[in-house]
Every structure is written in C-alpha cells, then in structure tokens.
Amino acid sequence: MTTILGIDPGSRKTGFGVIRTEGSAAVYVTSGIIRLPVDQPLGPRLGVLFSSLNSIIDEFRPEELAIEEVFLARNPDSALKLGHARGTAMAACVHRGMDVYEYAARQIKLAVVGTGAATKEQVQHMVKILLKLPAAPKEDAADGLAAALCHLHSNQSLQHIPATARSRGRSR
Amino acid sequence: MTTILGIDPGSRKTGFGVIRTEGSAAVYVTSGIIRLPVDQPLGPRLGVLFSSLNSIIDEFRPEELAIEEVFLARNPDSALKLGHARGTAMAACVHRGMDVYEYAARQIKLAVVGTGAATKEQVQHMVKILLKLPAAPKEDAADGLAAALCHLHSNQSLQHIPATARSRGRSR
C-alpha cells in the first residue's frame, strides 16, 4: 500500500489530494484547499502553507509527493510567487522524508482524462469517476488528486514512465 | 542581544551571514555559502537548502531573518527558480519560529555603503570594515551579511524604518 499526496500549489491557495493504493485500485483518502493569509507578509504566509502540509503529512502519512511541473511560467512576478509556494511545499515534503515526483500538466491530463489537452472540467469529472466520489471536487483539489492519480498510474505501469520522469522525479 | 541571519538565496547557491548585537555594536558570528546539488532533481536540491539552514539555526540560534526583497525578477524561468529557493529558505526560518524581514536591495546598499547605487565590491569592502574582518567575505556571503547589517541598523534606529517595512517585514 502506498499513500500519495498530490498538490497544486499557488500563491493564494494550494489544492491537495491524498489517495492510496489498495491492490490495483486507487482509493480516495482526503482532499481540500489550503488558503494562505494573503493579507499577511510573505514569511507567515509561507509558514501557513508549510505547517498545513506538515499537519496533512502527520495525519495521512503519505510517502510520495506528486506535483505539476512548471514549464512555461507566465511572467516574472507570478513565477516568483508560484516559486515561493512550490519551494515551500516541496521543502515541507522532503523535510518529512517524502520522495518528490514532478509531472508535466500534459502528462497528468493524459493519465486522468486520456488526452493531454483536457479541460479543467474534464479533469474534475474524471477524478470524480476514478475515485468514485459523490461529487466532483473543487478545481484546485481536483488538480491535486489528478497529480496523485497520474503518479499512481505511472507506478503501476513502470514501462510507461519516460526515463526522464523516472530519474528526474526521484528524490532519494 | 539579538542574533540575525541574513541570506542571499539563489537556485545554485545561497549566501548566508550571522551577526549579533553587543550593545550598539555588530559582531560577526559566521558566514558562508550553501551550494545546492544542481545535478539532482529539484526536491532533494531544496531539501539540502532546507536542512543546511536548519543546521545553521541549530548552531547559532538566530531569532530574525533578513532577506533581500525581489522587485524586478529578470525572466519567468529564473524568477521561478529564485522563488523555489526563497520560499524554501523563508519556510525553514518561519518553521523555526524566526521573524522574517525583507529589505529592498537599495535599502541594504544604503545601510551598508551609504548609497543605494553601491557596487558588489563596495558592499564586500564595507562589510569587511563594519565587521572588522581580516578579509572581505565572498560575494554571496557578503550579501547575506549586508542584509543582516541592514536589519540591525533598522532595528537600532527605528525612526528610519519606513512604515511599510515595519509592518510588512514582521512575521508574528
């Protein structure tokens, strides 16, 4: 049994989802959104993200982190802000001994929907179907769950992981 | 007595300097450069930065972090990379209960050299003089020490801190 945390970090909120494997099935554990106190300075804002992830790790004990890779950041200012959140999130997980795996957005959509050009709504819908949820999770939480599902699928069928993802993603 | 950690984070290396106040004087404690394993994936790379800062905090017990504020990132790619390092560094410090203070590059140069347009060499030279060092510290370490000195000067003369820096910088 492996427990996987998937996250979709952002400077205002970070979506997360935890799934675990039971045999060959993916089982939903939890998901949600960490909202950062945007009225506070950067230090405490990142502190909230770090400690929230620490609490999630304490409660659900994921061994692996799946996170979307950023290829084309939009502009320097938003890239810096996204970097702050991504760095904090990855440090929180690595600090707790988790392995970090990065996947391109295209890879995640392909794994969950079957096409790398899937819309946000299609991702939400397929996450609901794949995890047998009563309703589609919110967008950010769905993106976290989708990253986790992508990682799980890659694990289950190792021959489908490109060599770059295998070597690059592994933390230790 | 206050112990201040100043850092100059980067995606390849992070300069740091620790100083402490003795009466009205600034006393050099340590400084150096944390080199990230650039041949490794992002997760473990940020893990090295996080745990190196943790060790520095363990050894020297700084209460406050001074860090250069980024106003104009150069391009999205380098901004994202810088953000990863800054986010990791700030999270490491906030996680250990430190307060975070950000200062504009101009403010740091003004505090250390007396002009906001100072060169790197002038900063290195003045850091050597102000801290009575036998030689000028390396550039990144000097930038970390300069940030710490800037913060110390601001603390010592509160009337000179702009209201924005006072309210923005404080972590808790």
Residues of chain A in contact with residue B99, where contact means CB-CB under 8 angstroms, are 43
- pLDDT of B24 reads 79
B96 touches chain A (CB under 8 A): no
Give yes or no: B77 in active site. no
pLDDT in tens, B48-95: 999 999 999 999 999 999 999 987 777 899 999 999 999 999 999 999
Of A137, A161, A157, A145, the residue nearest A62 (C-alpha): A145
Query: Which pLDDT band holds residue B1 (cuts at 50, 70, 90)?
Result: confident
Which residues of chain A have a CB within 8 Å of the CB of B83? Answer: 79-87
What span, in angstroms and rounded, lies between the C-alpha atoms of A143 and A67? 9
* Residue A154 confidence class, pLDDT cut points 50, 70, 90: confident
Q: What is the pLDDT of residue A26?
A: 93
Chain A: residue whose CA lies nearest to B69: A42
Nearest CA in chain A to B96: A47
Per-residue CA distances from A113 to A104, A127, A132, A150 (Å): 14, 8, 15, 10
Neighbours of A44 (CB within 10 A): 17
A71 alpha carbon, distance to own chain's centre: 16
Is-contact B142 B15, C-beta < 8 A? yes
Q: In the prediction, which pLDDT does A156 show?
A: 53
pLDDT of res. B23: 82
Cα separation, B36 vs B44, whole angstroms: 9
Look up the pTM and report it.
Answer: 0.87
A17-28 residue pLDDT tens: 999 998 878 999
Q: How far is CA B129 from CA B28, B112, B124, B132, B140, in A?
A: 11, 10, 9, 5, 17
Interface test with A, best of B36, B45, B46, B96 (most A CBs within 10 A): B46
From CA A89, how far away is CA A35, in angstroms rounded? 13
Question: Which tokens sit at A66?
Answer: 């799946």
Pairing of strands B3-8, B13-22: antiparallel
- Give the C-alpha separation, B82 to A84, whole Å: 8
Write the class of the CATH domain A3-167: alpha beta
B68 tagged catalytic: yes
pLDDT digits (tens, 9 = 90+) for B130-154: 999 999 999 899 999 999 999 998 8
Instruction: Give the separation between CA B40 and CA B42, rounded to whole angstroms.
Output: 7
Tokens of B111: 């505090």
Question: Within an 8 Å CB–CB cutoff, is residue B80 touching chain A?
Answer: yes
Whether the CA torsion A161, A165, A166, A169 is positive or negative: it is: negative
> What percent of chain A is modeled with pLDDT above 90?
81
Instruction: Look at the block and give the residue holding tokens 């938003």.
Output: A78
- The complex's ipTM works out to 0.86
Contact residues on chain A for B95, CB-CB shorter than 8 A: 47, 50-51
Q: What is the pLDDT of residue A161?
A: 41
Q: Which pLDDT band, with edges at 50, 70 and 90, does A72 fall under? A: confident
- The answer to whether A142 and A127 are in contact (CB under 8 A) is yes
Q: State whether A87 and B92 contact (CB < 8 Å).
A: no
Read off the pLDDT band of A71 (50, 70, 90).
Answer: confident
Domain ranges of chain A: 3-167
Query: Which tens digit of pLDDT belongs to each residue from A76-89?
Result: 999 999 999 999 99
Burial B125-150 (b: 16+ CB within 10 A, else e): bbbbebbeeeebbeebbbbbbbbbbb
Note whether A43 contacts B70, CB cutoff 8 Å: no
Q: How many Å separate Cα A6 from the centre of its chain?
A: 3
Does position B157 have pLDDT exceeding 80, yes or no?
no
Q: Letter for the amino acid at B123?
A: V
CB contacts under 8 A, B 9-68 vs A, are: 41-44, 46-47, 49-51, 65
Average pLDDT taken over every residue of chain B: 89
The model's pLDDT over A87-129, given as tens digits with 9 standing for 90+, comes to 999 999 999 999 999 999 999 999 999 999 999 999 999 999 9
Cβ–Cβ under 8 Å, residues A57 and A36 = no
Of B75, B88, B167, the CB nearest to A76: B75
